[in-house]
Amino acid sequence: MSTTKSKTKLHIVAYPYPTAGHIIPLLDLTHLLLTHGLNVTVLVTPNNVHLLEPYLSTHPSSLKHLVLPAPDITPPPHKRLLVNVRALRDLHYPILLQWFQSHPSPPVAIISDFFLGWTHHLACELKLPRLCFSPSGAFAMSVAFSMCCDPPKNNDPDEDINFLISLPKVPNSPTYPWWQIPPQYRNEFEADPDWEFYRNSMLANFVSWGIVFNSFANLESVYFDHLKREVGHNRVWAVGPVLPLEGDLIGLATRGGASSVPCHELMTWLDAQLDHSVVYVCFGSRVVLTSKQLNVLVTALECSGVHFILCARVPDDQGSTLNRFKDCVGDRGLVIKGGWAPQVAILRHRVVGSFLTHCGWNSVLEGLISGVVMLTWPMGADQFTNALLLVDQLGVAIRAGEGTENIPNSNELARLLVVSLDKIKPQNVRAKELSDVALSAVKGGSSDKDLDELIKQLADIKKLE
């Protein structure tokens, strides 16, 4: 990334949605802003303060944080996101209003997660620009905007789960079976005040002053152009991947948390393998595999003969399945329980050749910049859109499964695991090409230029005060 310093000492607030997958990329962006000479105050809930620690030690004078209380609620599972978003607004809005109004040197802008669209109204009250930070890509954001404007409808959602939803206003007109539509966008909740609040909060993202993406221009150019037309201005910046580069001070081994297998043990095992011979399997820190998914996965890994690292969360009653599996495969694989691994460090190792992933956007970018081919098995949220982008539009991935509806046959999955390590396959060639493009973007290319332009426009606002 460019290290040009901003001449004006700007102070901004960064407000992530309080889950690790949303906090970490916004903290990585915060790190970049701090290296450009800005002051940043990060808003964080008590159980996530630990995620700030490596950044605080790297930027002791320019990075501050404000600890906000976490909502004390137990939402029903089918409405968890809707209720959490509204509870955060009700709890934090008055606290933040008072904090801004009493601060001796208040921030000149707010950058907040796209789940916190209601901060646009806070920014308006404070007469400040609000930037929406999207931890998802431009394609996924285009899909979300379309679904918020025109919520998908299905007259018989319980029976017709394969009812096709088409989004003709989004480039390439993507279609989805009903079961892939995230619950927060379905018309089933139309009379629900929590649903209406969430929808309005998401729509507020598109009338905010600007949108910042953890993505890069050449990855999703058609969707960036589309969003600029939709919002009616060019304050749409692609500054990613906002990942630590080699040698960065933010430690890769402890990034986001501790693994059940220490990083040095993982690296020692990887160092002993042949180049491009290992499949890394991970479904993120939140997905809990069903018993059927787990059984298909471990059978495929066992039958394939490939070397692998498996990182997974499993049902409480399936721990013995993993233990038996570890005994069967011996030294051919490593199993990390709990869903958290030093993923960036693993993917960048020379021996990792492919990545079986749930297609969360952080994982997508980490896979792309590492140059590994991906096997896609999306589980929910924007992951089906991300898989569509990887497989059908970018050609860097191979479709393996889809949620609990399309669980692959274990023999077919075993075949795909082997095929994914074939260096001459088109997906492997394309993955290396896109890795080079991604690295170029953050080493003086389009993402660096967008970041510099973003800071310049914020500095211009500061001058007008």
E strand or H helix at 416: helix 410-419
> Which residues 6+ apart lie within 8 Å of 53 measured at CB?
none
> Which residues 6+ apart lie within 8 Å of 124 measured at CB?
130
3-state secondary structure of 165: strand
Options 113, 194, 448, 450, the catalytic residue = 113
Measure the CA–CA gap between 243 and 342, rounded to whole angstroms.
13
> Which residues 6+ apart lie within 8 Å of 55 measured at CB?
27, 30, 31, 34, 42, 63, 250
Options 22, 31, 36, 349, the catalytic residue = 22
Extract the tokens encoding 291.
């018993």
Active site residue 22: yes
> Which residues 6+ apart lie within 8 Å of 243 measured at CB?
28, 344, 365, 366, 369
3-state secondary structure of 319: helix
On whether the CB atoms of residues 282 and 376 are closer than 8 A, the answer is: no
Active site residue 358: no
Measure the CA–CA gap between 171 and 389, rounded to whole angstroms.
12
**Active site amino acids:** 22, 113
